[in-house]
C-alpha cells in the first residue's frame, strides 16, 4: 500500500471519480487555482510594460515565472516562451524556422511521437521542399529503435524531433543518446517533453537539447504551453510578428497579449513540482503504477500494448479488452466512474504502426501524482468485470 501525501492539494479530486485521464490533462493544484483567482481578483491584472503599479506587477510576474520554469527545466530563463498550448507553439516555431530549411535538408521525427511533434515539421518541410524521415518503434516493446535512429541521422539532417515519453504507451527513449547522435551528425534537437515533465526531472543543461516543449495543464497547472529555446537559436529565428511588438528574447515568439492569469497558475504548479521534487513523485507513481500494470497483464481478456515492465517508462498504459471496441470499454468504465481515454490520443503514427488505428485505437489509463491505490483497485475491478 502507498499513501498519497498530495491528494488533498487537488480540489477536483473528491473520490467520486477515479481519474486516469491525466495524460490528457490533470486536475489543478490548489495553489495554481488560487494564483489564477488572485491575479484576476486583486486588481493587479493589467497589460505588461506600463508605467503604473499593476502593470509593473504583471511584468514581475512574467519575469519570475520564466525564472521558475528555467529552474524546473534546468535551463536559462531567457529561453522560456509562454503560449496557449504546445501545438500552437510548435506551429509558430516551425514556421519561424522554415526559412532556414531547403531542398535536400532532412528532419527526423519518430513513430512514437504525438502528431504535434510530427505534423508541424511535415508542413514546414513541405513549404521548403525538405524531407521528413520517421524513426521506427519496436512494436513489441514500444521502444524507439535506436539503431534505426543512428541510420537516419546524417549530414543532411537539420533537426531531430523526439518525444521524451510516449503519451500512448509510456516509453521513454534514451534522450541523452539521441541528442549525442544528432549533435554528432550536426543536427539540432527538439524534445517533446509534454508527457515527460509530469513524471521525471528534466535537466536541459545536462541533456544539451536545443529546444523543448511542454504543457503545464499536464502537470497540475492551467491550460497553457511552454517552449524553451536555446537563447542564440531564439535570437536567430524570423518569427511572424507585428512590428510594434518587442523583438527581443522570448517575447519575439509570444504573439499578442499572453494569458497572464495562466502564467500565474503555471508558476504555482511549477513551484509545487520543485518543492516536492520530481524524483519523489516518480518513485511514488512507480509504486502505485506497478500493481496496475501487473493486474492488467494478468487478465486473459486484456492485451497491453508496449512494455510489460517499469523500466524507463511513464506510469501510462494502453490496452484493449477482447471483443470490445475501445470506446465501448471507456464508456463502460465511465459508467462506474472510472475516467480513461480511448482512441489514438493523437499518437497517430504509433497507433497506425500497431494496426490499431482502424479498430478504434486502445484504452489509455495514466497516473498522476494524486492517483492512489483505491483508484487502481477500482480500475482493475472494473476492467476485470468486462471479461
Ligand atoms: C506527448 C504530447 N505531445 C504534445 C501534446 C499536445 O499538447 P497541447 O495540447 O498542449 O498542444 C500532447 C497532448 O496530449 C501530448 O500528450
Convert the pLDDT of each residue in 248-264 to its tens digit.
Answer: 999 999 999 999 999 99
Q: Which protein residue has the closest C-alpha to ligand 1 atom 8?
A: 86
Interval 214-232 mean pLDDT = 98
Task: Reply yes or no on whether the pLDDT at 230 is more than 70.
Answer: yes
Q: How much distance in Å is there from the Cα of 290 to the middle of ligand 1?
A: 25
Report if pTM > 0.75: yes
Per-residue confidence (pLDDT) for residue 52, from 0 to 100? 98
> Rounded CA gap, 385 and 332, in Å?
10
> Rounded CA gap, 50 and 60, in Å?
12
Q: How much distance in Å is there from the Cα of 43 to the middle of ligand 1?
A: 33
CATH architecture for segment(s) 32-275: 3-Layer(aba) Sandwich (3.40)
Percent of the chain past pLDDT 70, that is, above it, reads 99
Interval 301-330 mean pLDDT = 98
Query: Do β-strands 18-19 and 338-339 pair in parallel, antiparallel, or remain unpaired?
Result: parallel
CB proximity list for 216: less than 8 A, separation 6 or greater: 222, 224, 225, 226, 262, 265, 266, 269, 270
Per-residue confidence (pLDDT) for residue 3, from 0 to 100? 77
- What are the cell numbers at 175? 534522450
Cβ–ligand 1 distance for 167 under 6 Å, the answer yes
The C-alpha angle with vertex 117 and arms to 229 and 26, in degrees rounded to 5, equals 85
Task: Reply yes or no on whether the pLDDT at 50 is more than 80.
Answer: yes
CA distances from 115 to 39, 112, 285, 360 (A): 34, 9, 26, 17
Per-residue confidence (pLDDT) for residue 1, from 0 to 100? 64
Convert the pLDDT of each residue in 57-104 to its tens digit.
Answer: 999 999 999 999 999 999 999 999 999 999 999 999 999 999 999 999
Which atom of ligand 1 lies closest to the CA of 24?
Answer: 14
Q: How much distance in Å is there from the Cα of 56 to the middle of ligand 1?
A: 32
Q: Which CATH number is 7-29+277-384 given?
A: 3.90.1150.10
Phi–psi pair at 353, nearest 5 degrees? -60, -35
Question: Is residue 287 within 8 Å of 315, Cβ to Cβ?
Answer: no
Question: Is residue 47 within 8 Å of 58, Cβ to Cβ?
Answer: yes
Interval 178-206 mean pLDDT = 98
Question: Is residue 91 within 8 Å of 115, Cβ to Cβ?
Answer: no
- The domain limits of the chain are 7-29+277-384, 32-275
Cβ–ligand 1 distance for 170 under 6 Å, the answer no
At residue 217 the predicted structure's pLDDT band, cuts being 50, 70 and 90, is very high
Convert the pLDDT of each residue in 110-160 to its tens digit.
Answer: 999 999 999 999 999 999 999 999 999 999 999 999 999 999 999 999 999
Per-residue confidence (pLDDT) for residue 4, from 0 to 100? 86
Convert the pLDDT of each residue in 15-34 to its tens digit.
Answer: 999 999 999 999 999 999 99
Q: Which protein residue has the closest C-alpha to ligand 1 atom 16?
A: 167
Q: How much distance in Å is there from the Cα of 54 to the middle of ligand 1?
A: 33
> Rounded CA gap, 194 and 340, in Å?
18
> Rounded CA gap, 66 and 77, in Å?
5
Which atom of ligand 1 lies closest to the CA of 163?
Answer: 1
Cβ–ligand 1 distance for 110 under 6 Å, the answer no
> Rounded CA gap, 276 and 279, in Å?
9
- What are the cell numbers at 354? 500497431
Question: Is residue 94 within 8 Å of 119, Cβ to Cβ?
Answer: no
Per-residue confidence (pLDDT) for residue 227, from 0 to 100? 98
Q: How much distance in Å is there from the Cα of 120 to the middle of ligand 1?
A: 13
Q: How much distance in Å is there from the Cα of 244 to the middle of ligand 1?
A: 31
> Rounded CA gap, 335 and 27, in Å?
20
> Rounded CA gap, 26 and 24, in Å?
7
Question: Is residue 349 within 8 Å of 113, Cβ to Cβ?
Answer: yes
Cβ–ligand 1 distance for 305 under 6 Å, the answer no
Convert the pLDDT of each residue in 324-350 to its tens digit.
Answer: 999 999 999 999 999 999 999 999 999
Q: Which protein residue has the closest C-alpha to ligand 1 atom 7?
A: 86
Cβ–ligand 1 distance for 114 under 6 Å, the answer yes
Q: How much distance in Å is there from the Cα of 55 to the middle of ligand 1?
A: 31
Strand partners, 304: 319
Question: Is residue 373 within 8 Å of 367, Cβ to Cβ?
Answer: no
Q: How much distance in Å is there from the Cα of 116 to the middle of ligand 1?
A: 7
Nearest CA to 83 out of 323, 253, 273 is that of 253
Amino acid at each position: 500500500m502507498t499513501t498519497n501525501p498530495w491528494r488533498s492539494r487537488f480540489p477536483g479530486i473528491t473520490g467520486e471519480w477515479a481519474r486516469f485521464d491525466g495524460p490528457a490533462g490533470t486536475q489543478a493544484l490548489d495553489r495554481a487555482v488560487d494564483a489564477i483567482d488572485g491575479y484576476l481578483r486583486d486588481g493587479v491584472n493589467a497589460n505588461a510594460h506600463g508605467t503604473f503599479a499593476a502593470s509593473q506587477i504583471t511584468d514581475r510576474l512574467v519575469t519570475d515565472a520564466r525564472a521558475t520554469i528555467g529552474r524546473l527545466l534546468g535551463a536559462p530563463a531567457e529561453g522560456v516562451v509562454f503560449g496557449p498550448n504546445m501545438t500552437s507553439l510548435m506551429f509558430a516555431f516551425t514556421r519561424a524556422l522554415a526559412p532556414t530549411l531547403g531542398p535536400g535538408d532532412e528532419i527526423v521525427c519518430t513513430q512514437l511521437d504525438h502528431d504535434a511533434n510530427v505534423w508541424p515539421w511535415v508542413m514546414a518541410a513541405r513549404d521548403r521542399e525538405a524531407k521528413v524521415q520517421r524513426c521506427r518503434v519496436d512494436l513489441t516493446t514500444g521502444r524507439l529503435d535506436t539503431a534505426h535512429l543512428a541510420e537516419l541521422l546524417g549530414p543532411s539532417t537539420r533537426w531531430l524531433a523526439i518525444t521524451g515519453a510516449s503519451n500512448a504507451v509510456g516509453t521513454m527513449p534514451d534522450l541523452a543518446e539521441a541528442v549525442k547522435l544528432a549533435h554528432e551528425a550536426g543536427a539540432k534537437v527538439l524534445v517533446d517533453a509534454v508527457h515527460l515533465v509530469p513524471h521525471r526531472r528534466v535537466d536541459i543543461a545536462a541533456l544539451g537539447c536545443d529546444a523543448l516543449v511542454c504543457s503545464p495543464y499536464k502537470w497540475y497547472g492551467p491550460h497553457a504551453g511552454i517552449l524553451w529555446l536555446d537563447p542564440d537559436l531564439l535570437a536567430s529565428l524570423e518569427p511572424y510578428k507585428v512590428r510594434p511588438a518587442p523583438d527581443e528574447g522570448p517575447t519575439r515568439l509570444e504573439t499578442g497579449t499572453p494569458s497572464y492569469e495562466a502564467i500565474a497558475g503555471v508558476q504555482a504548479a511549477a513551484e509545487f513540482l520543485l518543492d516536492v521534487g520530481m524524483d519523489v513523485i516518480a518513485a511514488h507513481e512507480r509504486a502505485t503504477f506497478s500493481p496496475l500494470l501487473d493486474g492488467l497483464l494478468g487478465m486473459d481478456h486484456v492485451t497491453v500494448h508496449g512494455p510489460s515492465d517499469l523500466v524507463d517508462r511513464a506510469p501510462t498504459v494502453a490496452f484493449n479488452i477482447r471483443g470490445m471496441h475501445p470506446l465501448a470499454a471507456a464508456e463502460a468504465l465511465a459508467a462506474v466512474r472510472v475516467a480513461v481515454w480511448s482512441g489514438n490520443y493523437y499518437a497517430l503514427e504509433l497507433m497506425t504502426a500497431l494496426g490499431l488505428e482502424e479498430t478504434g485505437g486502445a484504452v489509455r489509463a495514466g497516473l498522476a501524482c494524486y492517483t492512489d491505490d483505491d483508484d487502481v483497485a477500482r480500475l482493475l475491478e472494473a476492467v476485470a468485470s468486462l471479461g
